[in-house]
Amino acid sequence: MIEIVSGVSGSGKTTYLCKLIEEDSLGFITPALFEGKKKTAISYRLLPQADLYLFACEAGDSEKDQCTGLHWQIDPAAICQINDYMDMLEGRADLAGRKVFVDELGPLELRNGQGLQSALAFCKKHAADADLQLEVVIRPSLVDSFIAYLGLSDKSDNISYVNL
């Protein structure tokens, strides 16, 4: 079963996910870091651990990513660590009955074939698993692409939606 959590930047997608995390939850979340009210960086947390690591920091206009159009400098080591972690989850025999969080998949993954490809592959492999709850954050403009990648219909019984 997959729940797609979608909304514009700053709508509370990660905050929503944090309320769903249980002691045995797996996957990753990417909480924003702020200076006052300004988002200045993005961290990541590999569940069930509590430690936060730097995922991306704000880039200047001249450093805007040409592929995604994002104003973030993503740490390649963070991408590797999350991909390695998601690959490791594939080998686990105790996924049944658990929640697995993927926060978030974006244009880097869905349009450019880069970034968190192991998380994307994990979602595809397990989207129809009735005994696993996937919580996946996707931007509204990418939801249809994600569902098509999964090979499911947007009317599938395996998909539920939360729009924030």
**pTM confidence score:** 0.91
Which tens digits make up the pLDDT trace of 9-31?
Answer: 889 999 999 999 999 999 999 99
Considering the four listed CATH numbers 3.40.50.2000, 3.40.50.300, 3.30.565.10, 3.10.105.10, the one that applies to the domain covering 2-163 is: 3.40.50.300
Q: What count of residues does the chain have? A: 164
The residue type found at 74 is: I
Spell out where the chain has E strands: 2-6, 26-29, 32-35, 38-47, 53-58, 72-74, 99-105, 133-138, 159-163
* Tokens encoding 71: 């104003």
Measure the CA–CA gap between 39 and 34, rounded to whole angstroms.
4
* Segment holding 108, helix H or strand E: helix 107-110
For residue 62, the model assigns a pLDDT of 57
Which tens digits make up the pLDDT trace of 55-108?
Answer: 999 887 655 555 455 678 899 999 999 999 999 999 888 999 999 999 999 999
Indicate the domain borders of the chain. Answer: 2-163
Which tens digits make up the pLDDT trace of 122-155?
Answer: 999 998 888 999 999 999 999 999 999 998 876 7
Q: Of 153, 132, 131, 134, nearest to 144 (Cα)?
A: 153
Is the pLDDT confidence value at 157 over 90? no
Measure the CA–CA gap between 120 and 156, rounded to whole angstroms.
18
